Structure 1
Amino acid sequence: MANDINFPQSFISSLQQAPGFNEETFVHTHQEAKAPTSVRINPKKKLAFEHAQPVPWCTDAFYLDTRPSFTFDPLFHAGCYYVQEASSMFIDHILRHVYNTEDGAAKVLDLCAAPGGKSTVISSVISSADLLVSNEIIKTRVPVLTDNLNRWGASNVVVTNNDPKAFAKLKGFFDLIVVDAPCSGSGMFRKDPSAMDEWSADNVNLCQQRQERILADVYPALAEDGYLIYSTCSYSYEEDEAVLDWLCDEFELESVRIPVQAEWGIVESQSAGHKAWGYRFYPDKVKGEGLFAACLIKRENTGQLPVYRNKNQPKPNYKEIDLLKPYINQPSGQYFFKLNDDWLAIARPLRESMEILQQYLYIKKSGVRLGKLAGKELIPDHELALSLMINKDAFLQTELTHEQAIAYLRKDNMDNLGITGKGWSLMTYQGYALGWAKLLPNRINNYYPKEIRILTSEPRDKNQESR
């Protein structure tokens, strides 16, 4: 079925000199070919997609022959997989080329992180000893980022809501920074043709200026010999290779060449000035949408944070902490801390980094929120249910059918579903946790968060496929 896409001539003209651009096949693919559907498996919640074609540049990623209703798949809500545009998964390949698990604990920043696609990629690559800081500049986009990271289940994550300039104070703090910069969006025209109405040469230039400001603001936070991964979903040279030349002009950065296989169809380019390597994705050449990505390494020391000293360390409440320990795996390796009435936990080696971040940034999530203690009973939080930290054996578990799981995810009344038991129960589907319910003698209290409940009444997909 043909797509109703008619490009502005000024847009097509602007790409004539772009590396790898072929007007005939580019236009034909946008008008005639359907955008592929792709998913990436959570490696800690292993799931199999039968007879699915792998995405060649990403581990545990697959193309689906048909697009199911992800909204009505409980395994999606359990965080078993993430629906993501295939080209944007290329960050997995870059990370696996530059990331070295033997270098010690790494600190990684995803600067423009919502809705969470690249953050979940990073989370899948780094080790549990590393720290991921997922930042979203726009406040209204933070909840979806937090929800997607909660589903993914990792405990070594901090979510922040800050302008890039706030990170300049964290001198040399991060070993790797990912900047998937706001752009003119031409790479997503096939999925969102209405975005063409916003495209103009003036907007491209404005985006380039904004990209340069963002990169300049965050640059001091990158450590010497740290990596900067830059990406856009724009085909425009001004937002892609030209930005690489600007980075190499302004800062002591060297380009890193990433090995790619010819059969993948990725166009390898170099900038005009510094011959910096870039990687272009065109939908007429790859099975995915438009993307540009590049990696650079910092070759200067622009300052470091002073030695951290916590002068106001609160005395731990060991009595309450002892009550929490049975509910999580390997509690001796966790640092427990309290925020208002809620107890949270994060890997003990990450405590210092978390406390440093608290001095400079507005933090929305740290580690895993365990819940509240009411006497000796834990009132568990939704984050704990989906986390990899949870000790499932410490809780009653109620396995749901598909129909029951959908009712639960809608936050429907569940009293008539024939479920029995008493106390807090982890509600599961095919063994994967969905959330909590309180089982009482005469009723069931559904504690699925109302903010993320299924709102549609019929199986139609409302979940965004994200970058």
Structure 2
Amino acid sequence: MNELNFPPHFIASLGAENGFDEENFVKAHQFEDAPTSIRVNPFKPSTLKSTQNVPWCANGYYLESRPSFTFDPLFHAGCYYVQEASSMFIDHIFKTINSNSDEEIKVLDLCAAPGGKSTLLNSALQPTDLLVANEIIKTRVPILTDNLNRWGTANTIVTNNDPKDFGRLKSFFDIILVDAPCSGSGMFRKDPDAMNEWSESNVNLCHQRQERILADIYPALKEDGYLIYSTCSYSHQENEDILDWLCAEFELESVRIPVHNEWGIVETQSPQQKAWGYRFYPGKVKGEGLFASCLRKKEHSGDLASFKNNTQQKLPGKELDQVRSYINEPDDFYYFKVNDDWMAINRAHKESLNILQRHLYIKKSGVIIGKLAGKDLIPDHELALSLIVNKDAVLETPLNKDQAIQYLRRDNIDLSTTDKGWTLMTYEGHPLGWAKLLPNRINNYYPKEIRILSAHPPREW
């Protein structure tokens, strides 16, 4: 049993909310633990042991108990993401609005860290589609980048910008997800400490911040493009009131998303504009608190100023040939250098990359391949985890679970091998990173900043 200490006036503030059942809500927080759920990476199929499917997300699964993900090499290989089940509803919204699109699309995840919704969106995109994952807070960018690196795709750009910076990218994006900073009441069961930070005044401050963010980002959405808005709050000021404001202030129309009754999701409409929203209450759904909605833009905000990049890099042909040899389907990619690092991004995104470089602060573009030292490539960790690495061009060294954990700790590994040179260290066929095989030792190149530090023994799935 969990000791409950809801903030003053919190329960009373929810009394009039559509679908709110106080008794059921309190019982769920007091007697039910937050469920553990994962979303598998469709690009890295594995033999994960899973149980019940998350009904609104085909790649989402509930686990019977919470294992030690830190000690599962498949987690580090990017075979799945540990994500709260309710937030996977964004997948259902995205696939509903994008179900018949054969055209290349550009998607922005505005408040992206730590990367759950970015990897979710990325799973639903084609390689010729582009995902821009932005994080406003600089210190949260590394975890976002690490999680997207694990996912392995080359059609992602990570930026570190304020929402107002995107106003310069008029009519650039087809879909924008704003998972807005909020008062966090939907996470009370998962994070009881959040109760101490909740207040009615903070709800009002969040409402004002949400309006500013949405107004800033609005010009970047194309006509007939979609805005997906979500929070982990129950407060109508941050949810239905925001929908009313959006529909009144801008040329946006609400999009109704089909849901099944058995899912337990509460469908709502805002009081003034009757915009559709979707509420998730613990006790009604197997997940945490969420509000989500979708709107379509019905006006044109102008066109992006034309821009031609006349300063394209002159890349040395012999070096480029060396780099291309490490890439699967090398003609599908555009290559460029940032300092000494060779990079690759899907060729379809060359022009978009040039535009974004002009307007935004970019932290990651596509995949870092590595640095050239003479005739040798010093491969980057991003290349190891990517889907574009040419496995026919490199050695692979399979590891058992104990060896994989040693590798992920950057410990010494005892291997019997006569191979020499750079090798992909793999677990169940999935790359974990690079090592260099030398006559008398193995140099472990797993990045220090993400190595396993915990000393706790693993628990089996």
- TM-score range normalised by the length of the shorter chain: over 0.9
1:48, 1:250 → 2: CA distance? 49
Q: Provide the residue aligned with 1:330 in structure 2.
A: 329
Structure 1 distance, partners of 2:458, 2:396, is 29
**Cα distance, 1:382–1:271 mapped onto 2, change above 3 Å:** same
Give the conservation status (yes or no) of the 8 Å contact 2:38–2:83: yes
Contact 2:50–2:62 (8 Å) recurs in 1? no
Q: For the structure 1 residues 7 and 377, does the alpha-carbon distance in structure 2 shift closer, same or farther, using more than 3 Å as the test?
A: same
Instruction: Answer yes or no: is the 8 Å Cα contact 1:181–1:231 preserved in 2.
Output: yes
Output aligned runs, 1:5-404, within 5 Å.
5-50=4-49, 52-100=51-99, 102-404=101-403
Tell me the secondary structure at the aligned position of residue 389 of structure 1. Answer: coil
How far did residue 420 of structure 1 move? Answer: 4.2
Q: Determine the C-alpha separation between the residues in 2 that align with 1:388 and 1:17.
A: 49
- The equivalent residue for 1:433 is 431
Q: Show the 5 A alignment for 1:412-451.
A: 412-414=411-413, 416-451=414-449
Using the TM superposition, give the Cα deviation of residue 304 of structure 1 relative to its aligned residue in structure 2, in angstroms.
1.1
SS at match of 2:246: helix
1:408 equivalent to 2:407? Answer yes
Contact 2:50–2:61 (CA under 8 A) maintained in structure 1 = no
2:325 aligned counterpart, secondary structure: helix
C-alpha displacement at 1:312, in angstroms? 1.6
State the alpha-carbon separation in 1 of the partners of residues 28 and 199 from structure 2.
22
In structure 2, distance between residues paired with 1:187 and 1:227: 24
The number of equivalent residue pairs is 459
Contact residue 71 and residue 459 of structure 1 kept, 8 A: no
1:154-199: per-residue Cα shift (whole Å, max 9, x none)? 1000000001010000011000000000000000000111110111
Give the AA of the match of 2:219. Answer: P
One-letter amino acid of the structure 1 residue matched with residue 451 of structure 2: R
Aligned-pair distance for 1:51?
5.2
User: 1:444 corresponds to which letter in structure 2?
Assistant: I
Deviation at 1:458, TM superposition (A): 1.3
- TM-score after normalising by structure 2: 0.98
Structure 1 residue 349: deviation in Å?
1.1
Q: Distance in 2 between matches of 1:357 and 1:50?
A: 40
1:101·1:126 contact (CA, 8 Å) conserved in 2? no
Deviation at 1:102, TM superposition (A): 3.5
Does the residue aligned with 1:204 lie in a helix, a strand or coil? helix
Deviation at 1:103, TM superposition (A): 4.1
Q: Distance in 2 between matches of 1:128 and 1:101?
A: 17
SS at match of 1:166: helix
**1:451-466 equivalent positions in 2, closer than 5 A:** 451-459=449-457
Partner Cα separation in structure 1 for residue 446 and residue 64 of structure 2: 31
1:75 and 1:432 in contact (8 A); partners too: yes
- Once the two structures are superposed, residues 48-91 of structure 1 have per-residue CA deviations (whole angstroms, 9 ceiling, x without a partner) of 44451000000211000111100000000000000000000000
Q: Percent identity among equivalent residues?
A: 68
Which ranges in structure 2 are unaligned for 5 or more consecutive residues?
Answer: none
Could you tell which deviates more after superposition, 145-154 or 310-319? Answer: 310-319
The letter for the 2-side match of 1:64 is L
* Deviations, residues 107-133 of structure 1 (Å, cap 9, x unaligned): 000000000000000000011110000
Give the aligned residue type for 2:435. A
**In structure 2, how many angstroms separate the alpha carbons of the residues matched to 1:330 and 1:371?**
17
Inter-partner Cα distance in structure 1 for 2:457 and 2:238: 39
- The CA distance in 1 between the partners of 2:53 and 2:69, in whole Å, is 19
Which string of whole-angstrom CA distances, capped at 9 and with x for unpartnered residues, describes residues 197-237 of structure 1? 11110000000000110001111100111000000000000
Considering only aligned residues, what root-mean-square deviation do their CA atoms show, in Å?
A: 1.1
C-alpha contact (below 8 Å) 1:174/1:222 kept by paired residues = yes
Matched residue SS, 2:119:
helix
Helix, strand or coil: the match of 1:254? Answer: strand
SS in 2 for 1:238: helix
Q: More deviation in 20-29 or 5-14?
A: 5-14
Q: Distance in 2 between matches of 1:333 and 1:117?
A: 27
Q: Could you tell me whether the CA contact under 8 Å between 1:171 and 1:305 is conserved in 2?
A: yes
In the alignment, is the contact (CA less than 8 A) between 1:101 and 1:127 conserved in 2? no
Code of the aligned partner of 2:448: K
Which residue identity lines up with residue 457 of structure 1 in the other structure? A
Amino acid at match of 1:448: Y
Cα distance in 2, alignment partners of residues 418 and 322 from structure 1: 33
SS at structure 2 position matched to 1:53: coil
